[in-house]
Amino acid sequence: MHAHPAPISRRRLLQLGATATAAGLAACAMLIPSLTPRPSLIAGGTPDPTPSPIPTPPPTPSATPRPASGRALYRDGALADGRSAGLQRNISILVDDGRIAWIRPTGGEEDPGDATVIDCAGATFVPGMVDCHSHVTGPGGANWIERFNDPPETLLAVAEHNGRIGLAAGVRWMRDVGSPIGVDPSDGRERALALGVRDRWAGRADRPYLRAAGSWLFKRGVNPMRSAIEAETADELLAGALGQLDAGADLVKLYMDGPDVNVSPWTADEVARVVDAAHERGARVAAHSGRLNGAREAVMGGVDSIEHGFDLDADVAAEMATRGTTLVSTLAVMRSWLSFGDTTTMERFAGVAGRSGVQARLEQGQASVRTARDAGVAIATGSDFGGGSLRANQLAWEVTSLVAAGLEPVDALAAATWRGGELIGEEEAGVLREGGPADFFCVHGDPLTDPESLWR
């Protein structure tokens, strides 16, 4: 059994001071429109290469002033923290220099002093969400694979757009699980492009905190992109993983679907070599798995998470629960593909076989989520934006997809908040508590009875 490594302190991104205050206020963009990122522009004023509409438009925000003192009292909202099954009403939160000074019942608050008071009546406070499966350099859409072959300049512009719209949608943390290798024009380094994005976003209140893998590690014969890593032997696989860590990756991403659909591309022993090497460096290992054979070998090899996990059985789920392996669910991708059957003429989506295949895959994935839940597996959410068809502002779609699969709304919200924080090794990620960062946002409605409210 492989123990989880400690959190990676050398890349600790949590901010203190005034920059975190701005982050907390931006997270309540519904209430403070002046801090809402503009989704139609990227840095420098150049038009975004791809639009990413939010399916459900937000309500018209109130014109609440930005606090001048660095202290703000968010007064009389409700609270859905992802731990309590019921909504907590009449709650006030005092933020002081980017940290939560206290959380009190409205009417029993301490004197906030010179804090700006923001009326939150009718809104619900939600912890900043954690997207555990994302690809920040990809735009998503029906041609997501082809888009990864775009020039680095285009992919990096897409990343800036994704960071803005993701943060505006309440995503405070992103875990990038694969990006193309290319020469980053900002620093001249040739490596997975998301690593440079991570470095440039560090300390910025207008971008999510970012953990980044290097590029994908494929078995030769599977890679659909020009700029990823292929390996034929176990030694090549280990060398590829170490190379990504040497380049600065926070985690390693193994692709456990091989060229032969009936055989796992790597054995448990081969996976374990990578896991041991990564854990020695304080890094974790994520395993893409769409098939049972790959999931079994990855779990037995000690990976920290199974990504997608569309084909799990009770034995694999039980082993995941025993080992503490997290399932990162991405069901919304299949729901997105079903919509492409209506909006495109692509045979894989619009054809009879395509539609039925996607529907069957969705139902299989839903069954796997229930199997994992019943076994006691920790479940986190991922939108798979960029590397799948979703956009960076659509993590709420995965929360609603988990509820549709059978999870209770509180468990689905936990998957999108503190469960994700546990996976990335950040105890303050996805958590709303006294003394913690003011990384929360506000929605219209009750996510514990109406998960769709996370869109609002």
Q: What is the pLDDT of residue 4?
A: 52
Query: What top-level class would CATH report for the domain 18-127+435-455?
Result: mainly beta
Q: What is the pLDDT of residue 159?
A: 98
Tell me if 66 sits within 8 A of 32, measured CB to CB. yes
Q: What is the pLDDT of residue 226?
A: 73
What's the CA gap between 142 and 4, in Å, rounded? 36
3-state secondary structure of 430: coil
Token pair listed for 109: 């608050």
Domain 129-424 has CATH 3.40.50.150: no
Tell me if 312 sits within 8 A of 372, measured CB to CB. yes
Residue 5 has pLDDT above 60, yes or no: no
Per-residue pLDDT, averaged over 267-272, amounts to 99
Instruction: Name the residue ranges covered by the structural domains of the chain.
Output: 18-127+435-455, 129-424
Residue with tokens 């495109």: 344
Q: How many residues does the chain have?
A: 456
Backbone angles phi, psi at 167, to 5 degrees: -60, -40
- State how far the alpha carbon of 447 is from the alpha carbons of 77, 92, 121, 357, 444, in Å: 13, 18, 16, 31, 9
Could you read off the pLDDT of 104-154 as tens digits, one per residue? Answer: 999 988 888 899 999 999 999 999 999 999 999 999 999 999 999 999 999
Question: 131: closest CA among 378, 369, 396, 372?
Answer: 396
3-state secondary structure of 375: helix
Per-residue pLDDT, averaged over 49-69, amounts to 37
Percent of the chain past pLDDT 70, that is, above it, reads 85
Per-residue pLDDT, averaged over 71-89, amounts to 97
Could you read off the pLDDT of 158-206 as tens digits, one per residue? Answer: 999 999 999 999 999 999 999 999 999 999 999 999 999 999 999 999 9
Q: What is the pLDDT of residue 3?
A: 53
Token pair listed for 191: 């490596």
Percent of the chain past pLDDT 90, that is, above it, reads 81
